[in-house]
A and B are shown apart, each in its own frame.
Chain A
């Protein structure tokens, strides 16, 4: 065990003296990602609060319709509305039909996967509701009714500060992404990088047990990945999270980060030992990142089932999500996550130890 610590301590000391790695590896996720998330939030709010740009075609009564929502939509004059919609010059195209001087139908055309289009659609719906309200009131009055009679349940909105914002929801994903990136980048350097620098043979010529050698390098990667993951997720939560972070949330995040970075570190060590240079190892690691991201992104489809908590990486993401939702994760969920990650990790480390003496 002392050999494992000797190797791990050397690698961590080496890492602590690498200023570029510290700046890139720690400052970027800790500062740049939250700053980016604030910018994304600001940009999203601006889009929600400013009028959507739409092209209007059809009857002249459309002008009357637009008068009801100058704060919601802004009519843009374009020669070819279809082309303007295709190229994104306008967020939606409104086709307005009228009868007897009154608007009767509004067709909203927007691009299904364009956030601006979706926002424009909602704003047009509000605009039409405002336009239709006087006519509805008139009809109700003609039947001796008023609007209150049709809405027996009143909804009152009260806005309070806070909320996790759009990117605050990404904190669980960040745990997996940074845990993966931190551990696997370092693993590539500590395995394939040593071959490149010409220190690998000197290390292999020592009688240190291969499992101890791999174990020490793994511990360094594991610590770096987990620290990076927790720092970035905590920073994200502080910048755009739902208020103060509680201890139980951080503990859940830490377990998730440790599990994600353990799997990443051991997998990347195997990849690194199969590669001839750190660059090659990082190229091979790209599919690993993508697999981790796909697993995390697919978590909504799978759901937080018992089986899902037995799948490494996916379980780390689910655990982080659960921790961020506020409730403490169940014991079986934590146990399943830790055990499955440890099992995968041990198998990978045993494979890595065998690869040390590969020609």
Chain B
């Protein structure tokens, strides 16, 4: 994935000011910065949820503006809000999204079973989601984002509001996904978390990359 000179303006507010970076397959990169640095907007552009005002962004070789449909097929996104359908169970949610990604029922069933087992969701996956804690909901989101086996994973503050043990489960899952050859972009304001999970850190401030460091170099 590659961003070149990406700007994003909401009215007079300039959120991104010529942002450029590249992430290769199998690499996990963290976007680190304070609130308002442009982390979420960058992920939203990569997930085709918002369009860049200027510049180009390409995911898996496809331009996010012109080939949004193709980009969506190769991207999985976990949002900070951890929203789930309260009256559906985790399994029903996965089946619903499987249908939206055009997967056949057997394939969805197989992937759902794998993900439920891998993310430790067996105990609650058949209960309605309004009974879930934030950690459970975040796991459902991660399973939903991985259902179609995307080559790019975008994570917006995935451990925000989670207790230490659940956050550890999510971090381990993310590390393992990068090792499987996926391209992972994680937005976080915690340098410590970024260092634990990612190979490289991009320090964002005021909508541009201020610094770029391999995680081993972070003090």
Contacts and interface: CB of A to CB of B under 8 A. Distances in A.
B88 interface: yes
Interface string B41-84: 00010011111000000000000000011101101110101111
A7 B100 CA distance: 8
B10 A6 contact: no
A205 B77 contact: yes
Contacts of B86: 197
B81 A198 contact: yes
Interface in A276-312: none
A199 B83 contact: yes
Interface in A1-31: 2-3, 6-7, 10, 13-14, 17-18
Residue of B44, B50, B70, B96 most packed against chain A (CB within 10 A): B96
Interface residues of A, number: 23
B141 A207 contact: no
Contacts of B68: 357
B34 to A, nearest CB: 22
A205 B87 contact: no
A237 B84 CA distance: 41
Given A3-B100, A6-B96, A359-B50, A202 B83 contact: yes
B101 A206 contact: yes
Contact of B85 (A3, A199, A206, A208): A199
Residue of A13, A201, A208 most packed against chain B (CB within 10 A): A201
A200 B49 CA distance: 10
Nearest to A200: B83
B132 interface: no
Interface in A47-93: none
Interface in A133-164: none
Given A6-B100, A206-B72, A359-B51, A201 B79 contact: yes
A204 interface: yes
Interface string A316-359: 00000000000000000000000000000000000000000101
A10 B73 contact: no
A205 B96 contact: no
Given A7-B100, A202-B83, 5 more contacts: A3-B100, A13-B88, A201-B77, A202-B144, A204-B49
The 8 closest A-B CB pairs, nearest first, are: A198-B83, A198-B81, A6-B99, A207-B72, A199-B83, A17-B87, A206-B100, A208-B100
Interface of B: 10, 44, 47-51, 68-70, 72-73, 75-77, 79, 81-88, 92, 96-97, 99-102, 128, 141, 144-145
23 contacts: A3-B102, A6-B100, A10-B96, A14-B88, A198-B79, A198-B82, A199-B83, A199-B84, A202-B83, A202-B141, A202-B145, A204-B48, A204-B49, A205-B47, A205-B48, A205-B49, A205-B76, A206-B97, A206-B101, A207-B69, A208-B100, A208-B101, A359-B10
